Structure 1
Amino acid sequence: MPTELHPIVASNMQELITQAKDIGINILITDEWRSIEEQNALYEQGRSQDGSIVTNVEGGESYHNYGLAIDFAIELDNGDVIWDMAYDGNKNKQADWMEVVEIAKSLGFEWGGDWKNFKDYPHLQMDFGLSISELQRGKRPPKEKDA
């Protein structure tokens, strides 16, 4: 099992942060690679543990477990972190959240907000055409672009 963010995902994450900053949007990466134990703890939230359900997948069933996913939020100038999808902090009459999503998509990320079931608005992933089942069987994406 991977123990860190995939290098292409990490590089594109940094590019996402840079491009968002260039248009006046500060984003915070709130999660990236996640261990199976961390995933299982998140899965229990809202089930056997207090809180709201935040995931429908157990350890080994998340692209985070394979270093192929990140979650983000908007960071305000005062340091507050928000998940407000309508906020327009750069005052260009476009929601900052959706501007970040468009940049992410241009970099090859898939957005959890486009999913039909259980929309995951902070979630971005690069699956390299691999299913969770393939990843569970040990298949891994190339470490370099065009490999």
Structure 2
Amino acid sequence: MKLIAKTSFILCLLFVADLCFSYVRHAWHSQTALQDRPVPSALDPIVKQNADTLKAAASNKGISIVITEGFRSFKEQDELYKQGRTKKGNIVTYAKGGESYHNYGLAIDFALQKKDGSILWDMDYDGNQNGKSDWLEVVTIAKKLGFEWGGDWERFKDYPHLQMIPD
């Protein structure tokens, strides 16, 4: 009986260690993938194309979205990083210049747009009245296009954020 308990304990430890290793490897790969990329001055063409496709696919479902942010320079990123730290406002990012996918043209932020033109970041809003959150419908489309959603992150949830590294 003790052997079964010890074996189970060891298997659980190995499983947890594997999960931790997978998480660290993913986080490390994401950062090194950025460092190896050249610094552009605009959104990556494939990311832009997928952002346009996202807008069109959302529109086909009766959802209007706007891209509120795309490429961001290192300097702009550093200014945003100061918010909630040395500048007034809430903390909106944990990435300094050079650490954000926005700095490499690989990320967009989006918001919903109502028929009256107003912009909202309401994850419960159901403007097309199909009983589903418009926000999550957009996220589902984005994931099918290859975007990673900031709302899936463990540490800091960034619900408007979508990013990708094109192949």
TM range (shorter): 0.7 to 0.9
Aligned to 1:110: 148
Q: 1:26 and 2:82 equivalent?
A: no
Which of these residues, 40, 45, 49, is aligned with residue 11 of structure 1?
A: 49
Distance 2:165 2:101 in 1: 7
Aligned to 1:119: 157
Distance 1:37 1:45 in 2: 13
Q: 1:58 and 2:86 equivalent?
A: no
Q: CA RMSD in A?
A: 0.8
Aligned to 2:116: 78
The Cα shift of 1:127 comes to: 2.5
TM-score, with structure 1 as normaliser: 0.86
The Cα shift of 1:79 comes to: 1.2
Distance 2:46 2:114 in 1: 27
Identity, % of aligned positions: 59
SS at match of 2:48: helix
The Cα shift of 1:90 comes to: 0.1
Q: How do residues 29-40 of structure 1 correspond to structure 2 at under 5 angstroms?
A: 29-40=67-78
- Deviation beyond 3 Å, 4+ runs, structure 1: none
Aligned to 1:132: none
Aligned to 1:101: 139
SS at match of 2:97: coil
Distance 1:41 1:127 in 2: 24
The alignment covers a number of residue pairs equal to: 129
Runs of 5+ unmatched residues, structure 1: 129-141, 143-147
Greater per-residue helix proportion: 2
| Alignment deviations for residues 20-42 of structure 1 (CA, whole Å, 9 cap, x no partner) | 00110000100000001110010
TM-score, with structure 2 as normaliser: 0.76
Higher relative contact order (CA 8 A, sep 6+): 1
